[in-house]
Amino acid sequence: MATRLGDESLGNKPLENRSSENTSLENRSSENRSLGNRSDKAGIGEIELLQSPDRPMTADAILEDFTHYFGRLLGRRTIRTRSPYPYQAVVFAVRDRLMERWGKTRMALERNNNRRVAYLSLEFLMGRLLRNALLNLGVEAETREALSRLGLEIEEVYERELDAGLGNGGLGRLAACFLDSCATLSLPVIGYGIRYQYGMFHQRIDNGYQVEEPDPWLREGFPWEVKRFEFAKRIKFGGRTTSYVDSRGETRYLWVDTHDVMAIPYDVPIPGYRNDVCNTLRLWSAAATDAFNLEEFNAGDYGDAVAAKNEAENITMVLYPNAETYNGQELRLKQQYFLASASLQDTIRFWQSLHGDDFAGFADKNVFQLNDTHPAIAVAELMRLLIDELHMGWDEAWDITGRTMAYTNHTLLPEALEKWPVAMFRRLLPRLLEIIYEINARFIAEISHRWPGDSERIRRMSLIQEGDEPMIRMAYLAIVGSFSVNGVAGLHSRLLREGLFRDFAELWPHKFNNKTNGVTQRRWLAACNPGLSDLITEAIGDDWVVDLSQIGRLRDHADDREFQRLWRHVKLANKVRLSRRLTELTGIEVPPAMMFDVQVKRLHEYKRQLLNVLHAVHLYDRIRRGDGDELVPRAIIIGGKAAPGYAMAKRTIKCINNVARVINSDPIMADRLRMIFYPDYNVSAMELICPAADLSEQISTAGKEASGTGNMKFMMNGAITIGTLDGANVEIREAVGEDNFFLFGLNVEEVQAMRGHYRPDDIIDADSDFSRVVKLLESGHFNRFEPGVFDDVLRSIREPSDPWMTAADFRSYVDAQARANAAFRDVDDWTRKSILNTAASGRFSTDRTMRDYNDEIWHADPIVLEV
């Protein structure tokens, strides 16, 4: 018989029951508006606190609340623009309005007993929250008005918010866009993540080199979060396993002598767009257990007690800043397990608060979407909780697990596939290792049954990679334990089925599906580009904000000369804005009339920032040789962070900066060519950059970029893409038409066919432009005072084994750039292409992506709020 999770096994009292999840906020009927009514249904010890009327959404009321918080909570009298207090007071005023919706959404979730989705992710790259919250609540104008009465500019207040940089790049930002779309679609989705004390590092550029600095983003507090100590969970680490036979003759397993850590949730409200829904992002923070501290303290070992506290809190201290290369660090595995266990326990406890110990319907009412393999240990942890803590049998537990887990893959790069040493698991998570071994044994039996005697296949598919140091293949664990496996763009999903996961797709074809990524048009058009947003709304109405397919109606305006003029006017204003910022950041002046040619994304060899540099040097060389008459003035803008341990990526940053310095200090280049490295690129930087871009660089080696999402943000804001047939570029080109996309480079099949007989030296020698570029770089022209700094970078281009085949695509890239150049000279036609790009971006909203997930994977009913 099942017992309540945690009653004895977790050593703490039942943390939540109907009352705590059910603190009712009721305000509809005025006769109910007293405080402290006793609720009949609530039972003993439960007092319903009835809510006062909703706060009005007027400038007057917002000003009143601002004043209240500024004076009475923050204890200030004078407004100083650069202080954090005005920002904080606005957030508190806005938060009051979110709280009302948050409570109603929670009530509706319980009442409707919806199927719920838990989005498990080690990263949520939220950026700033204020402008988005005001937009979604529909009080931006009112708040602007309230602040202006105090002499405050709302934009200045926005700027005071620090980015919540709890992610590396696309994967983390995707999770944030998903939350916005799910709330807007009223989908019952809760995000589970980690409240890192330090987010993505800040990047400083020193003599062209990247220098990493910590990101103490919580230093002044994070006014959006609500700490929920009552939902804390206990997480076990270390120790050993034992077993015994219970009174019914069943073998039971115990995980004992563990070092426990508490997981404390902090909730962040996620408002939908003007639909009164408010979902939750629940971020877990690690804390030492009280018992742990006290024991050591009483033993007189204060130092050890403090050390234990530090060790516990270390788990959520810092985000690992690696994108696309995992580096098997133990603390990272602890983070993964910490997130998985806390989130699963939370879901189980919520289930128990409604259904007691009857888990019959659990799998029908819960889905866990795994954001890559980072939280894939959840497969084994759910088994452990169901079997060890809830005393379920293996088959029933496996049925529940396999009906609730769904896995999204975000990469084909072999170096990014997580594998954890078996030895590390044995030390850190011994009970989970046993469970994984059991999952594997049963899985291998299934393969043997289907393919008798095929030991090679077993070796290939086993969850354990054998060898000197046996490893657990997390992607395989995720596939075996899930009912759905999806890629993030059509091409990527095909390559998963045909390549990386071929054996699994043969075994379980029904599991594999595609969900092409998107971005939220609320942040990435409505909020970040108000000029364009207003122009679009004047032309086609504002339905596009919640239904981006409507943006296709812009096509009717693409040839309208007056509309084109207004479109250009907005783009120019956005370029002026970015140009000012670039000058502030780097001291370089960038004339806004130039073509803004932009590549911003994490630094990685497969993304080929180097190819962009080769083109920059080519333009520089042409202008110097007097061959630049046809060239339109161009500003090449590159931004992005390199993982601190990724030497080649860091050297590429140095190379970009040095080439930029030579170009920008050459008087001949002035007004013709500028090159800028945008320091500390992050979400807020993109909000400034993408509205100002003319040309969007999406130039990865075909087959390497799973999807890309920056490509979609640029397209939405009217930039034209120069790109390879990689990731979502394929679908972007299909949507916008080949005339409105600058295609170049080998396709996936051609890249594969060229492996083995790729001769970069021959390619360079046969191309005089390429030869001159490489010669200039190799001559030390860009590193006069630092001989040899680019040797590694330059050598990689000449390497026949270069996986990124930069040289193979040089000629076709330069030709595509020439087509872009020619197109930019025809101002009207460029504007037309720009409008058509925005008009074709309808498919690339995460609203569409989330509908696809929900229709084909989650099958959750939308939240219905009480009217």
Residues at the interface with ligand 62N (CB under 6 A): 168-171, 174, 320, 322-326, 374, 410-411, 416, 418, 488, 517, 705-709, 727
Question: Nearer to ligand 62N by C-beta: 664 or 711?
Answer: 711
Element spanning 730, H or E: helix 729-736
Question: Nearer to ligand 62N by C-beta: 322 or 747?
Answer: 322
Whether residue 37 contacts residue 27, with contact meaning beta carbons closer than 8 Å, is answered with no
Residue 611: CB minimum distance to ligand 62N, A: 17
How many CA atoms are closer than 13 Å to the CA of 339, on its beta-carbon side?
31
Handedness of CA 764, 769, 771, 777 (dihedral sign): negative
Classify each residue of 814-852 as buried b or exposed e, where b means 16 or more C-beta atoms within 10 Å of its C-beta: bebbeebbebbeeeeebbbbbbbbbbbbbbbbbbbbbeb
Return the closest-CA partner of residue 489 out of 514, 509, 520.
Answer: 514
Residue 844: CB minimum distance to ligand 62N, A: 11
Residue 191: CB minimum distance to ligand 62N, A: 15
Residue 123: CB minimum distance to ligand 62N, A: 7
Helix 85-112 vs helix 140-149: crossing angle, to nearest 10 = 150
Return the closest-CA partner of residue 387 out of 240, 261, 243, 233.
Answer: 243
Q: Encoding tokens for residue 418?
A: 């997580």
DSSP state of 500: I
Question: Nearer to ligand 62N by C-beta: 421 or 591?
Answer: 421
The C-alpha atoms of residue 195 and residue 263 are separated, in whole angstroms, by 10
Is position 607 annotated as part of the catalytic site?
Answer: yes
Count other C-beta atoms under 10 Å from residue 460's C-beta.
14
Count other C-beta atoms under 10 Å from residue 494's C-beta.
15
Look at residue 253 and give its three-state secondary structure: strand
Strand partners, 636: 597, 675
From the centroid of its chain, how far is CA 659?
Answer: 31
Is position 419 annotated as part of the catalytic site?
Answer: no
The C-alpha atoms of residue 329 and residue 815 are separated, in whole angstroms, by 44
The C-alpha atoms of residue 544 and residue 179 are separated, in whole angstroms, by 18
Count other C-beta atoms under 10 Å from residue 260's C-beta.
17
The C-alpha atoms of residue 339 and residue 333 are separated, in whole angstroms, by 10
Strand partners, 118: 190, 368
Is position 23 annotated as part of the catalytic site?
Answer: no
Whether residue 612 contacts residue 699, with contact meaning beta carbons closer than 8 Å, is answered with yes
Catalytic pick among 601, 608, 622, 654? 601
Residue 418: CB minimum distance to ligand 62N, A: 6
Whether residue 817 contacts residue 722, with contact meaning beta carbons closer than 8 Å, is answered with yes
Alpha helices, DSSP H only, in 123-230? Answer: 130-137, 140-149, 154-160, 170-184
Look at residue 575 and give its three-state secondary structure: helix
Question: Nearer to ligand 62N by C-beta: 171 or 619?
Answer: 171
Question: Nearer to ligand 62N by C-beta: 132 or 486?
Answer: 486
The C-alpha atoms of residue 53 and residue 295 are separated, in whole angstroms, by 48
Catalytic pick among 557, 607, 622, 641? 607
Is position 704 annotated as part of the catalytic site?
Answer: no
Whether residue 228 contacts residue 316, with contact meaning beta carbons closer than 8 Å, is answered with no
Look at residue 248 and give its three-state secondary structure: coil
Residue 415: CB minimum distance to ligand 62N, A: 8
The C-alpha atoms of residue 236 and residue 255 are separated, in whole angstroms, by 8
Question: Nearer to ligand 62N by C-beta: 474 or 863?
Answer: 474
Count other C-beta atoms under 10 Å from residue 465's C-beta.
15
Question: Nearer to ligand 62N by C-beta: 323 or 616?
Answer: 323
Residue 640: CB minimum distance to ligand 62N, A: 12
Is position 104 annotated as part of the catalytic site?
Answer: no
Q: Encoding tokens for residue 57?
A: 């959404």
Q: Encoding tokens for residue 75?
A: 């204890």
Catalytic pick among 602, 622, 654, 843? 602
Question: Nearer to ligand 62N by C-beta: 640 or 842?
Answer: 640
Question: Nearer to ligand 62N by C-beta: 312 or 416?
Answer: 416
The C-alpha atoms of residue 735 and residue 487 are separated, in whole angstroms, by 19
The C-alpha atoms of residue 477 and residue 336 are separated, in whole angstroms, by 14
| Closest chain position to ligand 62N (CB) | 170
Residue with tokens 């170049």: 744
Is position 713 annotated as part of the catalytic site?
Answer: yes
Residue 646: CB minimum distance to ligand 62N, A: 11
Question: Nearer to ligand 62N by C-beta: 341 or 698?
Answer: 698
Question: Nearer to ligand 62N by C-beta: 125 or 619?
Answer: 125
Catalytic pick among 347, 709, 806, 831? 709
Whether residue 26 contacts residue 32, with contact meaning beta carbons closer than 8 Å, is answered with yes
Catalytic pick among 131, 332, 704, 713? 713
Catalytic residue positions? 410, 601-602, 607, 709, 713
